[in-house]
């Protein structure tokens, strides 16, 4: 029996190629920077994060309901700019992804949870359109990891059989449904480990 090779690579973005855009550590930094009550903020954030990451509400609407529901001594624009400044590249991981994209051996796509404005900013700021031909982002498709439906949609959009696909994410929970559907999965714990794990699947630039 011939085992099919990998023809498509699906990547998480935050925690794999870039820092997370608005995860707990980024939220903590922003709340500390602007001297905000973390418990009060988190109560509101938890009620809104699903709508925010599914593209149901804008960034401004999210901030108005989590922070600017009362007067502050800073502007919404100042807070937005600080949020954007928290995004940084993992240069080694991003360089490796670019190498794989340039090889043209693999369809390159994301499967990532991200709010629309932050996602578009990060795509532009870090040149991700030159790496990926498809963005299966929660804000575009209205689904979030680890829901099985987002992985199914990624396979349907790209028309690749699951056994020819590999999904890379830093969180084990996000890998489970992908593996259940028959995709190969790699947990990102560092770029050298990532290269070795992909090489074991026959993936190289």
Domain spans of the chain, in order of start: 8-19+89-200, 24-85
What's the rounded Cα separation, in Å, for the pair 158 and 153? Answer: 8
pLDDT of residue 1: 37
Q: Provide the CATH number for the domain formed by 24-85 in this structure.
A: 1.10.150.240
| Contact partners, residue 183, CB within 8 Å, separation at least 6 | 10, 151, 155, 162, 163, 165, 166, 167
Query: Of the CATH numbers 3.40.50.1000, 1.10.150.570, 3.40.1360.10, 3.40.50.12160, which one belongs to the domain with range 8-19+89-200?
Result: 3.40.50.1000
pLDDT, tens digit only, all 205 positions of the chain: 344 799 999 999 999 999 999 999 999 999 999 999 999 999 999 999 999 999 999 999 999 999 999 999 999 999 999 999 999 999 999 999 999 999 999 999 999 999 999 999 999 999 999 999 999 999 999 999 999 999 999 999 999 999 999 999 999 999 999 999 999 999 999 999 999 999 999 999 9
> In b/e form, how buried is each residue of 82-102, taking b as 16+ CB within 10 angstroms?
ebeebbeebeebbebbbebbe
pLDDT of residue 2: 42
């Amino acid at each position: 029996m011939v085992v099919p090779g990998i023809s498509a690579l699906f990547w998480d973005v935050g925690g794999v190629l870039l820092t997370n855009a608005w995860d707990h550590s980024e939220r903590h930094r922003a709340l500390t920077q602007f001297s905000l009550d973390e418990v009060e903020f988190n109560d509101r954030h938890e009620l809104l994060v699903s709508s925010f990451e599914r593209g149901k509400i804008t960034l401004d609407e999210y901030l108005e309901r989590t922070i600017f529901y009362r007067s502050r001594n800073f502007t919404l624009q100042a807070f937005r700019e600080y949020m954007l400044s928290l995004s940084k590249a993992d240069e080694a991981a991003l360089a490796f992804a670019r190498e794989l994209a340039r090889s043209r051996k693999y369809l390159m796509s994301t499967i990532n949870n991200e709010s629309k404005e932050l996602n578009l900013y990060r795509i532009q700021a870090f040149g991700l359109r030159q790496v990926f031909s498809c963005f299966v982002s929660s804000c575009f498709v209205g689904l979030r990891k680890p829901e099985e439906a987002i992985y199914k949609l990624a396979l349907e959009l790209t028309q690749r059989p699951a056994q020819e696909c590999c999904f890379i994410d830093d969180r084990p929970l996000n890998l489970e449904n992908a593996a259940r559907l028959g995709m190969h999965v790699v947990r990102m714990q560092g770029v050298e480990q990532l290269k070795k794990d992909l090489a074991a699947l026959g993936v190289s630039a």
